[in-house]
Chains A and B, each alone.
Chain A
Amino acid sequence: MKEFNLLPREYQRESPNRSRIVVSVILCLLIWPTGKYGFWKPMETRKEKMRQLASYEEIVEQLPGLEEDFERKQAEAEELRSRIGAFQEMEDASPQHWQSICDTLMDSLPAGASLQELTCDGTRFLISGNCSYDTVSTEYLRNLKNSGVFSDVRMEKILYGGDKAVSFQLCCMLDSQEPEVDMNESEAVAP
């Protein structure tokens, strides 16, 4: 309830309540950013960093296991590669293998060309033949290149006779079909 106050206006001070409210508001305004950026935010950041650190530590703890696993997988892949190599060697020595190479040599031969001599020392082929035109010999050379079975196909010698007939000598390498070992595949194959 309001009471009498005979204190003249000129003696009255600003209402302490009002000044207290102003002070409180200013304090709140100061406390809020101080609390947020000086305490709450750093605490949150610290917590976040601690969480990250814990997760990293967890990963680091798993690393020796990963290395062992990687080495084991590498050894398995190596073993698989050697097995495939052995299989490949077995396949290379088989009659079916040479049959397919001969088929390729014959299938690549264009019309108007014939083979005279074929020498093979394992991987290197020396092919001699005759044809009616020199263009036919070059066509044979292209066909061999495109067959995908040979590499480094080149013309060693070409001899022109009468009536445009030529003798040619081609040299090529049998592509060593080293199988590409896919690690994922090898992992899938591994027990």
Chain B
Amino acid sequence: MKPFDRRTLSIDMGNHSYKIIEAVKKPDVHILRYEILPPEESGAAGALAGEGRKLRYRTMDAVMSFHHESTVIRELKLSEKDDSRLPLVIEEEMLQYQTDFRKEYDFDYLLLPERDATGQRIAQTAAVSRSVNREYIEKAISLGLKLKAVDVQIHAALRVLHRLTDRCGELSPLSSYLILDLGCHSTTIAIVYLGKVFGSRVIPVGCGGSEGAPEDSAGCLSPILRNCVDLIDTFTYAYAGIPLQQGLVYGGGVYTGILSDLKRNIPLDLTDMGSFRSYFPEI
């Protein structure tokens, strides 16, 4: 990669496979290439390095994302008036999380420009277990990657959705969406609205990969279904009036039979993200 190249390489280090996404960030996000390393190669450093060389990357500016059950995404309302004290207040809140969950977290936050009805500042926070985060980071480093960032995967999906609603007339940008990432060993469920995540859960239940042979289809369907319904209920109760009619499903689990089961049991129009492939000619 040339020194002033604006390309970015993102690697989704899933339990089942590694997904490599090459994109440019400026002037706007533009995906150049998407690649999935098969399971037998995904753990091999040589394969990843080979892919990097093929894309003419120097393994710099790598962005890693993963989902894990320890991921916590919360919205904080801050009554603090002094903006300079906000980082301290947020840090205190996150320390409170650590005490409550009895776990150490790596966290980051975004201060949203808008305020709530009472004029309080809103901060969106994301945290992940420190030990898990470092385990993935060390793994990436051992593969020869020089990390620029560790992204929150559901937020990455949100950016894709944002691009999709810009291009696709079937998806209204004013609707809320259920996002379902069916991973191999874990599943992420979130409801998103206007570029924000309203509650997200990562459950340690996976669909067993894309071979079409789920580990235990009935066993994984039940907890996924329960959590989806629970999240939908919570959202509908908390944000009455915001339409929630559609859901987008992606991840290896889409290729198992679970999607049809989910469609039958969730009162939303669930669509495989892959069906919007035509809107992403670069993928």
B107 and A6 form a contact (CB under 8 A): yes
Interface string of B128-141 (1 = CB under 8 A from A): 10100110010000
Which has the most chain B C-beta neighbours within 10 Å: A5, A13, A20? A5
Query: Is A148 at the interface (CB under 8 A from chain B)?
Result: no
CB neighbours (8 Å) of A2 from chain B are 110
Using C-beta atoms within 8 Å of the partner chain, give the interface range for chain A: 10 to 19
A8 and B106 form a contact (CB under 8 A): yes
Interface string of B95-134 (1 = CB under 8 A from A): 0000000000011111000000000000000111010011
CB neighbours (8 Å) of A6 from chain B are 106-108, 126-128, 133, 149-152
Query: Is B237 at the interface (CB under 8 A from chain A)?
Result: no
Query: Is A189 at the interface (CB under 8 A from chain B)?
Result: no
Shortest CB distance B94–A (Å): 12
Given contacts A2-B110, A16-B61, contact A7 B148 (CB under 8 A): yes
A8 and B4 form a contact (CB under 8 A): no
Closest residue to B65 on the A side, CB-wise? A6
Query: Is B3 at the interface (CB under 8 A from chain A)?
Result: yes
Which has the most chain A C-beta neighbours within 10 Å: B108, B110, B128, B134? B108
Closest residue to A9 on the B side, CB-wise? B106
Query: Is A87 at the interface (CB under 8 A from chain B)?
Result: no
Interface string of A62-98 (1 = CB under 8 A from B): 0000000000000000000000000000000000000
The secondary structure that dominates the B interface is strand
CB neighbours (8 Å) of A7 from chain B are 137, 147-150
How far, in angstroms, from A13 to B60 measured CA to CA in the complex?
10
Query: Is A39 at the interface (CB under 8 A from chain B)?
Result: no
CB neighbours (8 Å) of B151 from chain A are 3-6
A8 and B134 form a contact (CB under 8 A): yes
Closest residue to A7 on the B side, CB-wise? B150
How far, in angstroms, from A8 to B4 measured CA to CA in the complex?
25
A20 and B3 form a contact (CB under 8 A): yes
A5 and B110 form a contact (CB under 8 A): no
Query: Is B146 at the interface (CB under 8 A from chain A)?
Result: yes
Which of these, B4, B130, B152, contacts A4 with CB under 8 Å? Answer: B152
Contact residues, B52-88 vs A (CB, 8 A): 60-61
How far, in angstroms, from A168 to B242 measured CA to CA in the complex?
150
CB neighbours (8 Å) of A13 from chain B are 146, 148
A5 and B149 form a contact (CB under 8 A): yes
CB neighbours (8 Å) of A8 from chain B are 106, 130, 133-134, 137
A5 and B61 form a contact (CB under 8 A): no
Closest residue to B149 on the A side, CB-wise? A5
How far, in angstroms, from A86 to B106 measured CA to CA in the complex?
121
Shortest CB distance B157–A (Å): 13
A4 and B155 form a contact (CB under 8 A): yes
CB neighbours (8 Å) of B130 from chain A are 8
Given contacts A8-B133, A11-B137, A20-B4, contact A3 B150 (CB under 8 A): no
CB neighbours (8 Å) of B4 from chain A are 20
Given contacts A11-B137, A16-B61, contact A5 B150 (CB under 8 A): yes
How far, in angstroms, from A109 to B130 measured CA to CA in the complex?
136
Shortest CB distance A4–B (Å): 4
A5 and B137 form a contact (CB under 8 A): no
Interface string of A1-25 (1 = CB under 8 A from B): 0111111100101001000100000
Shortest CB distance B125–A (Å): 9
The 4 closest A-B pairs by CB, nearest first: A6-B150, A5-B149, A7-B150, A4-B152
Q: Which of A's residues lie within 8 Å of B, judged by CB?
A: 2-8, 11, 13, 16, 20
A-B contact pairs, 24 of them (CB 8 A): A3-B110, A3-B149, A3-B151, A3-B155, A4-B110, A4-B126, A4-B151, A5-B149, A5-B151, A6-B107, A6-B149, A6-B150, A6-B151, A6-B152, A7-B147, A7-B150, A8-B106, A8-B130, A8-B133, A8-B134, A8-B137, A11-B147, A16-B60, A16-B61
